[in-house]
Amino acid sequence: MKDREFVSVFRSSKKSDTYIYVRRGQVWDDLPEALRSIFGQPVHAMDLLLSPDKKLARTTGKEVLEALAEKDFFLQMPEEQETYIVDFRRKIEQRGK
């Protein structure tokens, strides 16, 4: 794992709240075919200089850098919600008001 690395972040065109972190300049076609087909067309979100101590919204720089060293990408999926039913009920109740 490197101390710092330039990273590009792309959001998925198929799945909401799904992002992939890759080294800046990564060739999309070099990533696994299964990943590319599920992810869809990448939409550039940002570039950043990442270090292990960097805190991100749902992960850390260390986790991303370790994944880049191991498999050339870090896939960030949406957080699972255990309260989907509760949220759904709230929406129904709010509509009734």
Q: Please state the domain extents for the chain.
A: 5-96
Mean pLDDT in consecutive groups of 10 residues from the start of the chain, 97 residues? 91 92 95 92 96 92 96 88 53 57
Contact 45, 62 (CB under 8 A): no
> Considering the entire predicted model, what is its pTM?
0.79
- For the record, the structure tokens of 17 come out as 């709240």
Please give the pLDDT value at position 43.
96
Task: Name the CATH code of domain 5-96 (choices 2.20.130.10, 3.10.129.10, 2.60.40.10, 3.10.510.20).
Answer: 3.10.510.20
The contacts of residue 87 (CB under 8 Å, 6+ apart) are 81
